[in-house]
Structure 1
Amino acid sequence: MVAFLVANELRQSLHASLDKGESRYVWINEILDPTGGPGYARRLIHPLLPGTEGTLLSTEHRDSSGRQPYKTELEGVLQGSGIFFDYRFPRSRGGPEEDKTTYAALYPPFQWIVASGVYMGDINNAALTAHADIMQEKSRLERWHLLLTLGACLLLFLAIGHALFRQSRTRQRQMRQRMGRLENELEQRGEDRLSMEAIAACLAREILAGKFEPDDNFPREMDLCKRFDASRNRLRNALAQLVGAGLLERTAGRGTLVRPMSEWQLLDPLMSDWISGLEGINPALMREIYAFRLSVEPYVSALAATKANAQDLARLERAFEGMVATANDEQQAAHSEFDVAFHEAIYRATHNLVWAQLGSLLRPSISQLIESSQQAAQQHDQAHHRASLERHRAVMEAIRLRQPDMARTCAERVLETAARDLGFGLDHPRLETPRFST
């Protein structure tokens, strides 16, 4: 009775395992006659062939290969231990027989032979799959090994290249030092050559005057050395100043190019020196300087009206009186100097460190604009010059009376007059200056 109940429980479980799609299963044969022969056992549970459960088995049965699997199984389990044996059995009901290897063992309490097997084809497929996985992993490891080897070689080459590069740089530096010493010796012998600063100033002023367009190729070093009768080292130092000021760009393979005006460092002190000695400034650069003044000076004038002290007002008066005294064609240079001093005094009257220093740095640029404006204004009569002086006076009085809004308006009128003299339009962008309250 116990064996019957256990068999029913196992039958449900084993059938369910095969229903889940598992390729391996367990079957149970109950021994009826240990001596073998027809009817030696009854098929108790077989998930693959449930319709044959309860049928009698014979040790004389042979598979398609001629082997007697039931006889081999019975003899093996009766020896007291399990047995592995091969035979042929269909994979599915009604299908062809395939090679299969099985392990069977005896369960003595119920005289059951419990067995489970694996088809050789599944073993081969599993082996092939495992082999493919191993080969894929091997290939991956080989790729990593190759990458690591290449990386190590690359690092080695970089280390060697870096060492050679440093050695080359050291030799070049030593060569430049020797060339520098030779040049110094030549200079000490009294050869009459332009200084590096003079060469840089000459070349910079040619660019600032508009002789070269943006992205133009600059003359070659060899040609410039011949032009200035200068050594290559001295010329390179001069060009380095122009590169630092944003006027030139030196690119390997392209040579030396003139950079766009937007890249020029106009606040560089060297630029101020170069602009101060310039004759005929680039019109485009002049428009940029004017646009800056139109955007900034009205605000600076309004700020000066709130900050100026007695010394600032005295400085403004002296500059303005100088403008009045030199308002004639014979003293145009002196008049320009007083005009520049007038505007510089407004920057200083803000008592702001940045504005004051900015006014000093931009002095040459402002001077160029003022000189160009006055040269253009020479075609007008004296009434035009007096009107210009009155506009400057209005700015000074607004600052003296601490009227920031009026100072801003008067400064705009001064700059609008300059724009008309230079032939500029009045559509330049400007800062949104705040309204000051007194």
Structure 2
Amino acid sequence: MARENLTERVARQIGTAIVRGDHPPDTALPVEPAIAATLGVSRNLVREAVKTLVGKGLLRTGRRAGTIVQPPSAWNLLDPDVLAWTLAAPALRDDLLAEIASLRSMIEPEVAALAASRGSTVEILRLMEALEGMERHQDDPVSAVAADIGFHRCLFTASGHRLAMSLLPAFTVLLQANFDLAIQAQGGFARNLAEHRAVAEAIGARAPDQARAAMRRLLANNEDDLARIMGGEGVAAGKGR
């Protein structure tokens, strides 16, 4: 991961405070000198960070009103930074995880079917290599999660669907958060390896219907894991992993 520059750091600090609720929606952000003094940075850095946050939908600016905090409905939740800041807020995490699960259940089965129809030989080989990495690292949670994310990235690439592929940066954040939680389920990662293999083998066999069905089983398994970890709350809206 690239090291964040100063503007990115200031944007993260202000953005995290907004997501956390320190600055309520439709209220004015403190003036630049006050923020600069609090964060120990220049006013110019604050100004650049505010521009970044306007682009992400967290703030709006007006000539007379100043810099106004936007309500969550205006946030660009497909922006990887906004996703990460929201997932880091305990009060917002569970609802967002449920929405992540729902979004994945709508998208990933069709992505798997498209990969079976469109994936090149090289792309399918890379998918199988990612699966082998998951199997090889199943006893190392950090490496296992990285390999799991790699598997899903290969899946999206093999689909050949450009709009779906454009979601990859956001989906990487979503998958990381989902997997970090789901991997806590006793035996959950190893149990889902068989379903990952079923997805990969169906894609390799050029069988879209089987790939779609295998992905749905995989998502259902992960929903069960999340439900056990979270006491059955916050994941009923959809399926994850």
Is contact 1:275-1:368 (8 Å) kept? Answer: no
Question: 1:335: how far off?
Answer: 1.2
Alignment-derived partner of residue 148 in structure 2: 339
Question: 1:412: how far off?
Answer: 1.6
Greater radius of gyration (CA): 1
Instruction: Report the AA paired with residue 257 of structure 1.
Output: V
Question: 1:327: how far off?
Answer: 1.4
Question: 5+ unaligned residues in a row in structure 2: which ranges?
Answer: 228-233
Note the 1:32-431 alignment, pairs <5 A: 195-208=6-19, 210-212=20-22, 215=25, 217=27, 219-221=29-31, 222-251=33-62, 252-253=64-65, 256-260=68-72, 262-267=73-78, 271-273=79-81, 275=83, 280=88, 282-283=92-93, 284-328=95-139, 331-375=140-184, 377=185, 380=186, 382=187, 384-423=188-227, 424-428=234-238
C-alpha spacing 1:419/1:211, structure 2 compared with 1 (3 Å):
farther
| Mapped partners of 1:244, 1:266: distance in 2 | 12
Q: Which one has more relative contact order, counting CA pairs under 8 Å at least 6 apart?
A: 2
C-alpha spacing 1:238/1:427, structure 2 compared with 1 (3 Å):
closer
Alignment-derived partner of residue 230 in structure 2: none
Instruction: Report the AA paired with residue 237 of structure 1.
Output: E
| Mapped partners of 1:320, 1:245: distance in 2 | 34
The number of equivalent residue pairs is 224
Is contact 1:344-1:360 (8 Å) kept? Answer: no
Can you list the C-alpha shifts for 1:333-367, whole angstroms capped at 9, x where unaligned?
22111111111111111122222232245322322
Q: Secondary structure at the match of 1:362?
A: helix
Instruction: Report the AA paired with residue 107 of structure 2.
Output: V
Can you list the C-alpha shifts for 1:168-190, whole angstroms capped at 9, x where unaligned?
xxxxxxxxxxxxxxxxxxxxxxx
| Mapped partners of 1:357, 1:248: distance in 2 | 24
Is contact 2:23-2:29 (8 Å) kept? Answer: no
C-alpha spacing 1:307/1:420, structure 2 compared with 1 (3 Å):
same
Question: 5+ unaligned residues in a row in structure 1: which ranges?
Answer: 1-193, 430-438
C-alpha spacing 1:427/1:411, structure 2 compared with 1 (3 Å):
same
Instruction: Report the AA paired with residue 249 of structure 1.
Output: R
Alignment-derived partner of residue 9 in structure 1: none
Q: Secondary structure at the match of 1:249?
A: strand
Percent identical across equivalent pairs? 28
Instruction: Report the AA paired with residue 353 of structure 1.
Output: R
CA RMSD, Structure 1 to Structure 2 (Å): 2.8
Question: 1:317: how far off?
Answer: 1.3
Can you list the C-alpha shifts for 1:102-153, whole angstroms capped at 9, x where unaligned?
xxxxxxxxxxxxxxxxxxxxxxxxxxxxxxxxxxxxxxxxxxxxxxxxxxxx
| Mapped partners of 1:206, 1:263: distance in 2 | 16
Is contact 1:309-1:349 (8 Å) kept? Answer: yes
Instruction: Report the AA paired with residue 223 of structure 1.
Output: A
| Mapped partners of 2:138, 2:18: distance in 1 | 32
Question: 1:219: how far off?
Answer: 4.9
| Mapped partners of 1:277, 1:321: distance in 2 | 32
Can you list the C-alpha shifts for 1:264-307, whole angstroms capped at 9, x where unaligned?
2234xxx3256568873541333322221111111111111111
Can you list the C-alpha shifts for 1:22-65, whole angstroms capped at 9, x where unaligned?
xxxxxxxxxxxxxxxxxxxxxxxxxxxxxxxxxxxxxxxxxxxx
Structure 1 length-normalised TM = 0.46
Instruction: Report the AA paired with residue 71 of structure 2.
Output: R
Structure 2 length-normalised TM = 0.79
